[in-house]
Amino acid sequence: MTGISKEFPGVKALSDVDFRLLPGEVHALMGENGAGKSTLIKVLTGVYDIDQGQITLDGTDVRFSGPLQAQHAGISTVYQEVNLCPNLSVAENIFIGREPRRFGKIQWSQMEKRAAELLKRLQLDIDVSAQLSTYSLAVQQMVAIARAIDISAKVLILDEPTSSLDASEVEQLFRVMRQLKEEGVAILFVTHFLDQVFTISDRITVLRNGRLVGEYITRELSLIDLVGKMIGKELEVLEQLEEQPKPALAALERGQPLIEAQDLGRKGAVAPFNLTIHKGEVVGLAGLLGSGRTEVARLIYGADKADQGQLLVDGKPVAMRGPRSAMGHDIAFCSENRRTEGLIEELTVRENIILAMQAVRGWTRPIPRRRQDELVDKYIKALDIRPANPEAIVRNLSGGNQQKVLLARWLITEPRLLILDEPTRGIDIGAKTEIQRLVAALSDGGMAVLFVSAELEEVLRLSHKIAVLRDRHLIAELANDDEVDADRIMETIASGARA
| Rounded Cα gap, residues 353 and 402, in angstroms | 10
**Of the candidate residues 390, 399, 423, 430, the single one contacting Mg ion (CB under 5 A):** 399
CB neighbour list of residue 147: distance below 8 Å, 6 or more residues apart: 78, 84, 93, 94, 95
Contact status: 137 vs ligand ATP (CB under 6 A): yes
Residue 337 engages Mg ion in binding (rule: CB under 5 A):
no
* Chosen residue from 122, 126, 440, 490 binding another protein by CB under 8 A: 126
Q: Which does 104 bind (CB under 5 to 8 A by kind): ligand ATP, Mg ion, another protein, none?
A: another protein
Torsion angle of alpha carbons 363, 298, 398, 85, nearest 10°?
-110
- Binding to ligand ATP by CB under 6 A, coded x per residue (else -) over 428-467, reads --------------------------x-------------
Kindly identify the residues of this chain, within the stretch 281-320, that bind ligand ATP according to CB under 6 A. Answer: 287, 289-295
* 343 interacts with ligand ATP by CB under 6 A: no
Does residue 294 belong to the site contacting Mg ion (CB under 5 A)?
yes
Q: Is 38 in the site for ligand ATP (CB under 6 A)?
A: yes
Of 330, 373, 471, 477, the residue at the interface with another protein (CB under 8 A) is 471
Q: Based on CB atoms, which residue is closest to Mg ion, 240 or 396?
A: 396
x-or-dash string of contact with another protein, 50-89, rule CB under 8 A = -xx-------------xxx-xx-----x-x---xxxxxx-
By CB under 5 A, what part of segment 15-44 binds Mg ion? 37-38
- The minimum distance between CB 356 and another protein, in angstroms, equals 5
| Smaller CB separation from ligand ATP, 335 or 413 | 335
3-state helix/strand/coil string of the chain: CEEEEEEECCEEEEEEECCCCCCCCEEEEECCCCCCHHHHHHHHCCCCCCCEEEEEECCEEECCCCHHHHHHCCEEEECCCCCCCCCCEHHHHHHCCCCCEECCEECHHHHHHHHHHHHHHCCCCCCCCCEHHHCCHHHHHHHHHHHHHHCCCCEEEEECCCCCCCHHHHHHHHHHHHHHHHCCCEEEEECCCHHHHHHHCCEEEEEECCEEEEEEEHHHCCHHHHHHHHHCCCCHHHHHHHHCCCCCCCCCCCCCCCEEEEEEEECCCEEEEEEEECCCCEEEEEECCCCCHHHHHHHHHCCCCCCEEEEEECCEEECCCCHHHHHHCCEEEECCCHHHHHCCCCCEHHHHHHHHHHHHHCCCCCCCHHHHHHHHHHHHHHHCCCCCCCCCEHHHCCHHHHHHHHHHHHHCCCCCEEEEECCCCCCCHHHHHHHHHHHHHHHHCCCEEEEECCCHHHHHHHCCEEEEEECCEEEEEEECCCCCCHHHHHHHHHHCCCC
- Residue 203 binding ligand ATP, by CB under 6 A: no
User: Which of these ranges, 76-84, 115-123, 379-387, 490-498, lies near Mg ion under the rule CB under 5 A?
Assistant: 76-84
The answer to whether 359 contacts another protein (rule: CB under 8 A) is: yes
The Cβ of residue 226 has, within 10 Å, a number of other Cβ atoms equal to 21
Segment interacting with ligand ATP, rule: CB under 6 A, options 90-98, 144-152, 394-402, 433-441: 394-402
Q: What x-and-dash track marks residues 415-454 binding another protein by CB under 8 A?
A: ----------------------------------------
Q: Which of 74, 172, 396, 484 binds ligand ATP (CB under 6 A)?
A: 396
Q: How far is the CB of 137 from ligand ATP (least distance, A)?
A: 6
Decide if residue 317 touches another protein (CB under 8 A). Answer: no
Shortest distance, position 132 Cβ to another protein, whole Å: 9
* Closer of 238 and 454 to another protein (Cβ): 454
By CB under 5 A, the count of residues binding Mg ion is 7
Between the alpha carbon of residue 67 and those of residues 60, 77, 86, 97, 127, the distances in Å are 18, 8, 19, 12, 28
Choose one: 243-251, 336-344, 429-437, 441-449; the region binding another protein (CB under 8 A): 336-344
**For another protein, the closer CB: 23 or 66:** 66
Q: How far is the CB of 111 from ligand ATP (least distance, A)?
A: 20
- Spatial CB neighbours of 195, under 8 Å, sequence gap ≥ 6: none
Least distance CB 488 / ligand ATP (angstroms): 19
Does residue 169 belong to the site contacting ligand ATP (CB under 6 A)?
no
Sign of CA dihedral 50, 53, 56, 60: positive
State which of residues 27, 37, 147, 416 lies at the interface with another protein (CB under 8 A). 147
Using rule CB under 6 A, residue 399 touches ligand ATP: yes
Binding residue for another protein, selected from 233, 321, 324, 498, defined by CB under 8 A: 324
Size of the site for ligand ATP (CB under 6 A): 40
Q: How far, in Å, CA of 410 to CA of 397, rounded?
A: 18
| 397 scored as a contact of ligand ATP (CB under 6 A) | yes
| Residue 134 contacts another protein per CB under 8 A | yes
Using CB under 6 A, list all residues that contact ligand ATP: 8, 11, 13, 31, 33-39, 80, 134-139, 164, 268-269, 287, 289-295, 336, 386-387, 396-401, 426, 454
By the criterion CB under 5 A, which residues form the site for Mg ion? 37-38, 80, 294, 336, 398-399
